[in-house]
Amino acid sequence: MFKRYRAVVLGVAALCAAGMTAFAVAQNNGDAVLDRVKANVQKTLGADAPVKSVAKTPLPGLYEVAVGGDVIYADEKGAYLIIGGNLIDTKTRQNLTEARQSELNKVDFAKLPLDRAIKYVKGNGSRKIAVFSDPNCPYCKRFEETLKSNINNVTVYTFLFPVLGPDSTAKSKAIWCASDRLKSWHDWMLDKKVPATADCSTPIDQNLALGHQYNVTGTPTIILADGRRLPGAVPAAELEKALSSVK
């Protein structure tokens, strides 16, 4: 009886070991395929477009390739690329490309240098966002109007991000150097009161580098507390919905 039991146990152990070995081999093979796709696509794109990661898609033979802040698609050999297209799940109607871009471009809110931003607390300030904003950007001004009129209980950290030319840089420096930065910012953005010229040490260059690090390509770019980003002057209802969805 004992011999038979021992034989069964050994047989089960052997099956488990074989299963684990097969799983490891399959995983290694899968990783090898992804590495091969990455190398092939990198060769196709060249060194100026570094590939960050490669992953399988639900479509056999098609791979997701992260390049900078964008998502493109390729076959295993890198012979064919889909650039600027969106992969849609027809059952759920979900835009898989958009979802992956959002995930890949998430920002660790806790690591943002908030001391380099203008802080605005409205209501109890319980909900937090960061905004990359240019003082001459009309959409940024529209967003400030939205915050003033339609959104409550929020803390806003505005990173001055002058990308629209020398005048934007001059205004950003004047606003940062004002005795009351928040008032100077709102005076200009909401009431068109030109900030008085002032000179001091500013974090403008650091903010520009930070924005480029996070692939900020336009203003305003809004960062939610969970790291998701909202591009452009989103309407109040959309912003409120996004704020309410943060866990």
On the CB side of 43, how many CA atoms lie within 13 Å of its CA?
11
Mean pLDDT for 34-46 is 91
Q: What was the pLDDT predicted at 1?
A: 44
pTM of the entire predicted model: 0.68
pLDDT of residue 7 exceeding 50, the answer is: no
Closest C-alpha to 230, from 238, 125, 71: 238
Contacts (Cβ under 8 Å, ≥6 apart) of 125: 153, 154, 155
Give the model confidence (pLDDT) of 62-102 as tens digits. Answer: 999 999 878 889 888 888 888 877 787 778 878 888 778 77
C-alpha span between 24 and 99 (Å, rounded): 29
Map out the domains of the chain with their CATH numbers. Answer: 2-104 (3.10.450.70), 109-245 (3.40.30.10)
Per the listing, tokens 């336009």 go with 218
C-alpha span between 103 and 64 (Å, rounded): 13
Give the model confidence (pLDDT) of 121-167 as tens digits. Answer: 999 999 999 999 999 999 999 999 999 999 999 999 999 999 999 99
Give the model confidence (pLDDT) of 199-245 as tens digits. Answer: 899 999 999 999 999 989 899 999 999 999 887 899 999 999 999 99
pLDDT of residue 9 exceeding 70, the answer is: no
Q: What was the pLDDT predicted at 28?
A: 55
Give the model confidence (pLDDT) of 177-189 as tens digits. Answer: 999 999 999 999 9
